[in-house]
Amino acid sequence: MAGENKALWGGRFERSPERFTMEFGASLPVDRKFWREDIQGSIAHARMLGKQGIISMDDVEAIERGLLAIGERIEAGDFVFDINDEDIHMSIESQLTRDIGAAGGRLHTGRSRNDQVACDTHLYAKHLCQALAEKVLELRACLLKVAQDNMGVVMPGYTHLQLAQPVLFSHHMLAYYWMLTRDFKRILAAYDAADVLPLGSAALAGTTYPLDRDYVAQQLGFKEVSKNSLDAVSDRDYLMDLAYACSVCMIHLSRLSEELILWSTSEFRFIRMDDAYSTGSSIMPQKKNPDFAELTRGKTGRVVGDLMGILVVMKSLPLAYNKDMQEDKEGVFDAVETVCDCLHCMTGMVSTMKVNRERMREDAECGFMAATDLADYLVGKGVPFRQAHEIVGELVLKCEKMGRTLQSLSPAELAEHSSYFATDAVKAVDIDAIVARRTTAGGTGHAAVATQLEQAAQQLAADQALAAAL
């Protein structure tokens, strides 16, 4: 059955598409999300047309009033979206023409849906970047506070998930802070890539009308206009940049989620998750599961999949616009929404978790984590590092067989193993001293972490100011 309503582009066609193909090709269920951006862009375009004398100022006033009225109806939930309109642009324009008559038909002068959808998407992407940046800043502030509140708490550091060297818990939290700082920079880069006006490029070749693109850019808050009309209507790099930023951020959240999951187990007992971020079992009364950390970990695959989706959509597309690009939005919108939700949840989990300082300290004092410092002690006595490494390795093996720790050995026992060990060797295996000695910039020593906390606070304040200025 042919479609009942004739499309705005239907002049060249003898009949409308079948209902199924109309629904299959419609983008309205997705792009209706940026109705505000469509109205905003259309108002700026109409004002420019009037300024340039392309349409009358009476038409401009009628168009602007009509568009604002449509916006109010959409906001109130009184606007009927008809799938026959195909996309948000036609939905709004067709209603505008019904409302104000011929003036509504003049709105599309000098533009195409190709540059119109590109403009809407650029605007919407900027808003998505702003929302995402705010959520990242919230989690960074939370991590910084946890690091500040727990300064001095010692925990075991790991490589290969095996006990390695003691570190400050604050140092560990700050590692995630800096990951998210890089995520923030990637989001700003995606915002910067989106901050370019494509409107005025028309379908692909520009237009013969004397458009003032700089005026429109100023009206819409874009920093510049696109340099090439072919590129402008077919560019989706900024969406790929945003999807990539989301994917890397989710990778970081998945790593933090995994550690929260491990730390909350009975085997680790480093933290206790708040009840608000845990669930129970339908059969086992004792269970307290870190479900929301697990969900965050699991949703990483979804967001990475969204990135793969848009990369493959754009692969090998010839210039300029192709209908394939209709598939550019849904995955990216999903990625941003998912990451924002996960950031919100992670902020709650981290801010409410209880840190078991005693348990962390207990594990920091086992596992021969003082071995490197004991080797460094020998180096200080003139022993080549490789030889010192072997001496301490043999000592660790002996302790393992005896069920002893390095800290339990007396100066005499150490001297029996190597004449290079003197009475001060026991200081080399003191956990607090081991941590404090890591004074290099970025290290886990108390002084180095104190400096890092100051740097993190300064960076957070600077980035909050950047976000506020977007």
* Phi, psi (rounded to 5 degrees) for 174: -65, -25
Whether residues 298 and 446 fall in one domain: no
Total domains in the fold of the chain: 3
Token pair belonging to 412: 């005499």
What pLDDT was estimated at residue 88? 94
What pLDDT was estimated at residue 263? 98
Whether residues 233 and 352 fall in one domain: yes
Could you tell me the pTM of the whole model? 0.92
pLDDT < 70 regions, the chain: 1-16, 22
Whether residues 302 and 194 fall in one domain: yes
Whether residues 66 and 130 fall in one domain: no
What pLDDT was estimated at residue 11? 67
Domain end, chosen from 59, 76, 109, is at: 109
CATH number at residue 255: 1.20.200.10
- Residues annotated as catalytic (active site), given as ranges: 160, 281
What pLDDT was estimated at residue 369? 87
Residue 289 lies in a domain: yes
Whether residues 323 and 460 fall in one domain: no
Expressed as residue numbers, the domain containing 339 is 114-134+171-360
